[in-house]
Structure 1
Amino acid sequence: MSIDASASPRPDRTEPGRTGSHLRKPKDHVGSRYPLWFYVPGGLVYLVFFIIPTAASFYFAFTRWTLFESEFIGFDNFVTFFNEPGLIGSLWNTLVYGFVTSGSKVVLGMALAVVLSLPVIARGYLRSVTFFPVLLSTVGVGLTFQVLLDPFNGIVNKAWTALSGMDGPGWLTNPDFALLSVAAIDVWKGLGIATLIYIAGIAAIPNEYFEAARVDGASGWQTFRSIILPLSFPATSTVILLSLIGGLRSFDLIWTTTGGGPGFSSDVIASVIYKQYQAGFYGLSTAGNVILFIVVTAIVYPLNRWLNSKETDL
């Protein structure tokens, strides 16, 4: 038996009295663009507080300037800055400080977040205590630890002597310990932010993964390695970038604890810039800021691209 093709419904036919508009696919507004005026407020803020100051900094880096006048001198500021005797040491200290603080916050922040995500007693209180140092003034923290780590009267060395029977080291006065001691203070103060980001990352993992791990009899380490560690990678990349940028441009904590000393052992690029500014070499210090901007960008930008590529592979 044959079927009359004319008897089958046609997709382009409509019933009498109705238009074919109801068969059209609704317009997708997800990819629609906002009107131009919607971008104007944010664009003005970005222009005034970022683009203009950045362009002005690049210009004044090529001048000898005061508050009242400026003289274009070309690359002389950059040549002078690169001839600074302690520049190579300060650049090395900057890299060490940035990577040590960043790596420590990633490891310790993850560890604390895992513990504080468990149903432990007083979990909310422990989370608050972990975040509390973030709220403190950086200058206040630096001055406080300068007293606590005093080699003769500081409470840390007194406890060290009482427990070991030996004199404690000069945490901030010994060139071998100064930079790492300040880095440890930085980690203590900024660890709360890293922990908070990791807690949010762990909370975003669907509970079905953990239930499946329990059903399969996975140990705590296996659950961490196979579920928490890979699925919280976006939080890891955020902590790495934020802490690395903060470490590379750190100044206030270093200056209030050691002043870049003893000698130049804890000098970083930011403290060298500040010393030039103190001496009245404003153009030279501006050139240093431009160099620091380029160094941070050269490290963070490719790292950010690499981390984003890893996130897309997950």
Structure 2
Amino acid sequence: MKISKSLYSYYLIWPALIIYSAFFVLPAIVGLFYSFTDWRLDREVIQFIGWDNFNRIFTDKTLILAIKNTFIFAIITVIGKNVLGIALAVGLNMRLKTRNLLRVIFYSPSILSVLVISIVFTPMLRSEGTINKLFEAVGLGSLSQAWLTDPSIVIWTVAAVSIWQHTGFQMAIYLAGLQSISKEYYEAATIDGAGAWKSFLKITLPLLLPAININLMLTLIGGLKVFSEVFVLTGGGPGNASQVVGTIILRAFGEGSWGLGTAINTLLFVVVTIISIPLLIFMRRKEVTE
């Protein structure tokens, strides 16, 4: 039996498509169904309850706070990881004798387990911890904070730890993008009298758009799906001050409210899709126009 050349590529993707459908598409459809039910651990009969689970999400104060914290975390980490990532990449793309060593130093936190990071940072962030003592030692004791126990700043603290850990990964992607830019562009800009800042705006940023696009998508999706950092550093506390959507889903399933947990997870999937796809299309168009 001869296989048409035009259909050959489709035959190659069938195995991957079947696996993807079995482990992602089908569970997503089943999860969507259960999100409209009262599915619980202590109930043998599952009943369809319509939008009740979703109504509860937008009326429960803890759930609303978790959604708010998730967006705060995502915005802070997207800005922090990308701005610092570009800054580090530009700096370490210069002819520094120690640039390879510095690249390793800045990248290494991203390969560490979040559990290891929490073991390191938890004692440092206590009221009597290293960070506050350092502030006091340099005469900035007024900046000392209860980093993990003050409800007003705890989500910002967790976001800062995430930025510290993962910025090196974004830096590596930006470095790859920078090294693909021909030096002839900068030489021509120098001849035309352009300074470093103008060259960065007119040459580096436009040609770095593919890397920026990748990093924006990775940090945005990662920020909206945050779980590990909050779980290991604060457990959602103090009280519920640092709860995010990921920890609320875990708590809902832990309490046996499987229908509610599935509804929250479905809502998270929808939000991530609605935000990421238009952003991806917009960034792709910018790449073409630039």
| 1:194-273 pair list within 5 angstroms | 194-273=170-249
1:157 maps to which residue?
132
- CA distance, structure 2, for counterparts of residue 211 and residue 225 of structure 1: 15
Q: Could you tell me the percent identity over the aligned residues?
A: 36
> In structure 2, which of residues 261, 272, 289 is the aligned counterpart of residue 285 of structure 1?
261
Look up the equivalent residue of 2:136 and give its one-letter code: T
> In structure 1, which of residues 43, 47, 54 is the aligned counterpart of residue 28 of structure 2?
54
| 1:69-218 pair list within 5 angstroms | 71-75=46-50, 76-152=52-128, 154-164=129-139, 166=141, 168-218=144-194
> Does the CA-based 8 Å contact 2:132-2:141 persist in structure 1?
no
> In structure 2, which of residues 10, 13, 16 is the aligned counterpart of residue 42 of structure 1?
16
> Does the CA-based 8 Å contact 2:106-2:168 persist in structure 1?
yes
What SS does the aligned partner of 2:174 have? helix
Q: After superposition, give the CA deviation of every residue in 1:283-307 in whole Å (9 maximum; x if it has no partner).
A: 2111110011111112112111211
Q: 1:68 deviation in Å?
A: 9.7
Query: Unpaired runs of 5+ in structure 1?
Result: 1-30
> Does the CA-based 8 Å contact 2:40-2:256 persist in structure 1?
no
Query: Unpaired runs of 5+ in structure 2?
Result: none
- CA distance, structure 2, for counterparts of residue 288 and residue 34 of structure 1: 41
- CA distance, structure 2, for counterparts of residue 209 and residue 84 of structure 1: 55
Q: After superposition, give the CA deviation of every residue in 1:219-252 in whole Å (9 maximum; x if it has no partner).
A: 2212211110111011111111110110011011
Q: 1:89 deviation in Å?
A: 2.0
Query: What RMSD in Å do the two structures reach over aligned CA positions?
Result: 2.0
- CA distance, structure 1, for counterparts of residue 137 and residue 12 of structure 2: 65
Q: 1:261 deviation in Å?
A: 2.0
Q: 1:165 to 1:103 in 2, by over 3 A?
A: closer
Q: Which has the higher helix share?
A: 2
Q: After superposition, give the CA deviation of every residue in 1:165-202 in whole Å (9 maximum; x if it has no partner).
A: 63621011112221111111011111011101111111
Residue range with higher mean Cα deviation, 207-216 or 177-186: 207-216
> In structure 2, which of residues 263, 280, 286 is the aligned counterpart of residue 304 of structure 1?
280
Q: 1:200 to 1:67 in 2, by over 3 A?
A: farther
- CA distance, structure 1, for counterparts of residue 247 and residue 113 of structure 2: 19
Q: 1:68 to 1:40 in 2, by over 3 A?
A: farther
Look up the equivalent residue of 1:73 and give its one-letter code: F
What SS does the aligned partner of 2:46 have? strand
- CA distance, structure 2, for counterparts of residue 165 and residue 313 of structure 1: 48
Higher CA-based Rg: 1
TM-score under structure 2 normalisation?
0.91
Look up the equivalent residue of 2:283 and give its one-letter code: L
Q: 1:56 deviation in Å?
A: 2.1
What SS does the aligned partner of 2:138 have? helix
- CA distance, structure 2, for counterparts of residue 69 and residue 51 of structure 1: 26
1:5 maps to which residue?
none
Q: 1:110 deviation in Å?
A: 0.6
Residue range with higher mean Cα deviation, 241-250 or 301-310: 301-310
Q: 1:35 deviation in Å?
A: 4.2
Q: 1:165 to 1:222 in 2, by over 3 A?
A: closer
Look up the equivalent residue of 2:162 and give its one-letter code: D
What SS does the aligned partner of 1:181 have? helix
Q: 1:93 deviation in Å?
A: 1.4
TM-score under structure 1 normalisation?
0.84
